[in-house]
Amino acid sequence: MHTQTTPLQETPSSAESFGAYAKRVRVEVEAELTRWLDQERSRARALHPEAGVVVDAMSELCTRGGKRFRAVLVAAAYEACGGEGGATQVVWAGVSMEVLQAYLLIHDDWMDGDDMRRGGPSVHARLRKDLGGAQQGDAAAILAGDFASALALEALTRVGCAPARVADAFRELARMEHDVVLGQILDMRGASDRPEAVEAMHDLKTSSYTVRGPLLLGAALAGASQEQRAALERAAAPLGVAFQLRDDLLGAFGDPEKTGKPRGGDLRQGKRNSLVIEAARDAKANAEIAKVLGRVTATDAEINAAIDALVACGAKATVEARLDALLEQARGLLAQAPLSAGGALILAGAVDALGVREV
């Protein structure tokens, strides 16, 4: 069990906003995460300078921005299901989610050829520079992601809950990784060509570790009933897809200064996301998008024309309407869930934080 620092105080009251609760969780998670990664950096440097370079690149990504939504969802679900000791008890589970995300982002950026993440260089882009070439840099980035995956396991062992509950949480962590990898395979191969198929892919690739996994991990650590777990899983399904639909919209229409990624990056990478699938129904829009889809050399003018076509054909409006419907469904399901009043309030605030956001 780790040494507690500034406590997260009591279970959230009805007057506490999601933003205030999220900030309290984030402060303690980031304190533990930063301390721990500094130790890992020192160990790696002592082993070999280039090992230090790889671990430093991974650690810098972990601590560069990020909303810590997953860590907050773990804590909120833990409290909503009656977990003892409040959110402080599961800080290390939040740390586990953060390094798990780093692992997935590092590999995802390399597969997609993204050179930016959170307003800075992606890990493979940095390591190509630091290690003198694409082959060494890319291989090191894969290892950096693998290292983060191992840290996610280690962090979960530090949670100070009953061993049986921690073992239950490990099963949820394994399920997350299992589902997200399957979803990534579907995304990589462009196996989704209908809106419902895209949503099924998002459920595996994104909701698995962004919404459903963190909620169920927190519930497992709290010793939640099967009724509580089933209710959280039902609410997570629409919310997880909504999160990804918002990502699709931000990728096309978001401000790069806020998102930390170039406008139209999904189009250049050839991602057949929800907007592209909807636009395929319109011959003119489909033709405009075909000019840039999968073309990394597409000009900004060509990208802008494709994005304009997404608006003109109604794809943007359709995806936004679907997003709103999913968020409303998630709110309704959470309202019916057998959860503590304070925890349920925080989870209700998470719906807007995840589905109505600018980054």
Tell me the pLDDT tens digit for each residue of 153-174: 999 999 999 999 999 999 999 9
Q: Which of 6, 85, 16, 10 is nearest to 347 (CA)?
A: 16
Residue 40 corresponds to which tokens in the numbers above? Answer: 């890992």
For residue 5, tell me if it sits in a domain.
no
DSSP result, 5-62:
-S---SSPPTT--HHHHHHHHHHHHHHHHHHHHHHHHHHHHHH-HHHHHHHHHHHHHH
Encode pLDDT of 214-270 as tens digits. Answer: 999 999 999 999 999 999 999 999 998 888 889 889 888 887 777 767 778 888 888
For residue 127, tell me if it sits in a domain.
yes
pTM: 0.87
CA gap 186, 272 in Å, rounded = 11
CA gap 288, 246 in Å, rounded = 22
For residue 11, tell me if it sits in a domain.
no
The region that residue 337 occupies, defined by phi over 0 for left and psi between -120 and 50 for alpha, beta otherwise, is beta
Residue 351 clears pLDDT 90, i.e. is over it: no
For residue 12, tell me if it sits in a domain.
no
- Residue type (1 letter), 118: R
Query: Looking at residue 5, what is its pLDDT?
Result: 37
Q: For the residues 288-298, what does the mean pLDDT come to?
A: 88
Encode pLDDT of 98-143 as tens digits. Answer: 999 999 999 988 988 878 888 788 999 999 998 989 999 999 999 9
Domain count for the chain: 1
Query: Looking at residue 192, what is its pLDDT?
Result: 60
Residue 94's CATH number: 1.10.600.10
Q: Are 221 and 332 in contact (CB under 8 A)?
A: no
Query: Looking at residue 2, what is its pLDDT?
Result: 39
Buried b (16+ CB within 10 A) or exposed e, 80-107: bbbbeebbbbbbbbbbbbbbbbbbbbbb
For residue 2, tell me if it sits in a domain.
no
For residue 10, tell me if it sits in a domain.
no
- Domain coverage including residue 277: 18-355
For residue 6, tell me if it sits in a domain.
no
Residue 203 clears pLDDT 60, i.e. is over it: yes
For residue 4, tell me if it sits in a domain.
no
